[in-house]
């Protein structure tokens, strides 16, 4: 991460008599970029009441996608930033062994069975008041690519090495310096097969994720 900073120089000369040495003090401060992240809208995304009879018996059931408000980022100046995610209940996803982290868990039923999972899409960002593009890296920023191409969306992932970011140039291009970005979030949930759940009692869906800014 590169950032400009000012180094004040203080030259110290002693008296009017010629000297063989002079003192030089070099002072300065390197401060990290200052950006803030906020989620607008209802942070408690409700998927409503799902009738057990509507679930597929031996296959997963894809539910209707739900809007999760906007993710808004504001910086004090042009900054290279990205976004990472942590699934606070990843062990409860229907695909707990998925290494790419694109599935987020929905908790467990009364018998401890994994209920299902959801995916988080970031779609059509606005960067510095102009339409922008999503981009993603799965190798800590060494290379960047587009997840959905012309759809200009990216699938937020909870994998440690994965970072989502924004470009003013094109989907999949390296991240751009930006001051503000706003991007809608879409939740796409699914429920595990009915025969893997205890549907004789109510099942509470309980997903939880943490989003974190990354300075690139």
Q: Is residue 177 part of a domain?
A: yes
Q: 106 CB contacts (<8 Å, ≥6 apart)? A: 89, 92, 93, 114, 115, 116, 117, 118, 189, 191, 205, 206, 207
Beta bridge partners of 181: 73, 127
pLDDT of amino acid 143: 93
pLDDT of amino acid 191: 93
Q: Is residue 21 part of a domain?
A: no
d(CA 148, CA 124): 11
Which residue range is the domain that position 92 belongs to?
34-215
Q: Is residue 44 part of a domain?
A: yes
Residue whose C-alpha is closest to residue 122's, from 156, 95, 76, 99? 156
pLDDT of amino acid 182: 95
pLDDT of amino acid 150: 47
- For tokens 């994994």, the residue is 114
126-180 tens-digit pLDDT: 999 999 999 999 888 899 988 764 455 677 888 888 899 999 998 889 999 999 9
- C-beta separation of 114 from 212 below 8 A: no
pLDDT of amino acid 9: 44
Determine what percent of the chain is predicted with pLDDT higher than 70: 81
Domain count within the chain: 1
Q: Where are the beta strands (DSSP E) in 89-196?
A: 104-105, 116-123, 126-127, 130-131, 133-137, 153-156, 163-167, 178-191
pLDDT of amino acid 2: 40
Q: Is residue 82 part of a domain?
A: yes
pTM for the full predicted model:
0.78
**Domain containing residue 162: CATH number:** 2.60.40.1090
Q: Is residue 95 part of a domain?
A: yes
Q: Is residue 29 part of a domain?
A: no
Q: Is residue 1 part of a domain?
A: no
Q: 67 CB contacts (<8 Å, ≥6 apart)? A: 41, 184, 185, 186, 187
Give every residue of the chain whose pLDDT is below 70, as ranges: 1-19, 21, 28-33, 41-43, 96-100, 148-153
- C-beta separation of 69 from 183 below 8 A: no
Q: 214 CB contacts (<8 Å, ≥6 apart)? A: 81, 82, 83, 84, 163
Q: Is residue 181 part of a domain?
A: yes
pLDDT of amino acid 66: 86
Q: What is the DSSP letter of 172?
A: T
């Amino acid at each position: 991460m590169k950032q400009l900073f000012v180094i004040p120089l203080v030259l110290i000369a002693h008296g009017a008599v010629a000297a063989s040495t002079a003192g030089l003090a070099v002072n300065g401060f390197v401060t990290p970029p200052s950006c803030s992240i906020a989620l607008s809208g209802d942070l408690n995304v409700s998927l409503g009441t799902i009738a057990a009879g509507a679930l597929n018996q031996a296959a997963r059931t894809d539910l209707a996608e739900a809007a999760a408000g906007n993710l808004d980022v504001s910086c004090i100046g042009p900054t290279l930033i990205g976004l990472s995610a942590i699934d606070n209940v990843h062990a409860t996803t229907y695909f707990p062994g998925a290494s790419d982290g694109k599935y987020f868990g929905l908790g467990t039923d009364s018998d401890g069975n994994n209920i299902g999972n959801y995916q988080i899409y970031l779609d059509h960002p606005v960067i510095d008041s102009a339409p922008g593009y999503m981009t993603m890296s799965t190798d800590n920023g060494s290379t960047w690519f587009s997840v959905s191409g012309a759809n200009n969306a990216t699938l937020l992932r909870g994998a440690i090495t994965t970072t989502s970011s924004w470009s003013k140039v094109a989907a999949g291009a390296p991240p751009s310096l930006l001051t503000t970005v706003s991007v809608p979030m879409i939740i796409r949930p699914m429920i595990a097969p009915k025969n893997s759940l205890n549907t004789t009692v109510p099942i509470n869906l309980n997903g939880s994720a943490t989003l974190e800014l990354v300075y690139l």
